[in-house]
Structure 1
Amino acid sequence: MIAQISTNVLKYQQDPKGAREVVVSAAFNDFDEFLISYTNDVPGGGLFVQTKDALPLGTKVRLYFTLKSSRVPILEGYGEVISVEREDQESVGGMVVKFFDLSEKSKALISRLVSNFL
């Protein structure tokens, strides 16, 4: 099951280095909200991000997720959009981003998530 959240702030922007990649950043209210959005249905880990402007399948993205209170990154790295959910009467819209090429700190966080919470 993929958890759906509604309080994160999602922004897309072009990489300032001029690369043809998209930066996906989301600020979560607290760590519990991040945990709710994490899904272990994706091998290697992934996250459901609620948005009305989902990116196309296969889009490679740079990830930057923080907590609103500290703006300290809790997850950084790269991902790929592997699923897009359109908003309808039964569900909110958004996309599932599969993680790859995460920072060492982010890999350690995912490892702790899987062993302690999931």
Structure 2
Amino acid sequence: MSGTASKPLPLRIRLPYTTEEEFIDKYGSNVARGGVFVATRAMKPEGTGLAFEFVLADGTRLLRGEGVVVKTQVDAVSGRTGMTVRFVKLDAASKALIDRVVSKRTGSVEPQA
């Protein structure tokens, strides 16, 4: 079966963090309003649709939504590999968490339009 309307691949990322605050402090630099960097060796090709879920060490869900791989990265010097995923769809709780991450990093709260 071919075509661009293929079902997004499920991707569950279990993070080593135990709290939402720890996630924000340690992983927040990888999160932006428009997408997230996923450190992984199991990269998907650019253009791949993903149905992703980020969970804490105890299984508590942090972020859930759909996205598209827009860039893959293999850094020969640092050994860091991963992919940048652009958000396509996020649930309300995920949007709220991303707002907290971004506002904590920038030190300001964006005005509501």
Conserved in 2, the CA contact under 8 Å of 1:52 and 1:87? no
For the pair 1:58 / 2:47, whether they are aligned, the reply is yes
TM-score scaled to structure 1, two decimals?
A: 0.70
Larger Rg: 2
Stretches of structure 2 lacking an aligned partner (at least 5 in a row):
1-5, 18-22, 107-113
Higher helix proportion, which one?
A: 2
TM-score scaled to structure 2, two decimals?
A: 0.72
The equivalences for 1:31-70 within 5 A come to 31=23, 32-38=25-31, 40=32, 44-68=33-57, 70=58
The amino acid across from 2:49 in the alignment is K
Equivalent residues, number? 95
- Give aligned-pair identity as a percent: 31
Stretches of structure 1 lacking an aligned partner (at least 5 in a row):
1-18
Conserved in 2, the CA contact under 8 Å of 1:87 and 1:94? no
Distance 1:116 1:90 in 2: 27
Q: Which residue of 2 aligns with 1:109?
A: 97
For the pair 1:23 / 2:6, whether they are aligned, the reply is no
Moved over 3 A (4+): none
The answer to which structure, 1 or 2, has the higher relative contact order (CA under 8 A, 6+ apart) is 2
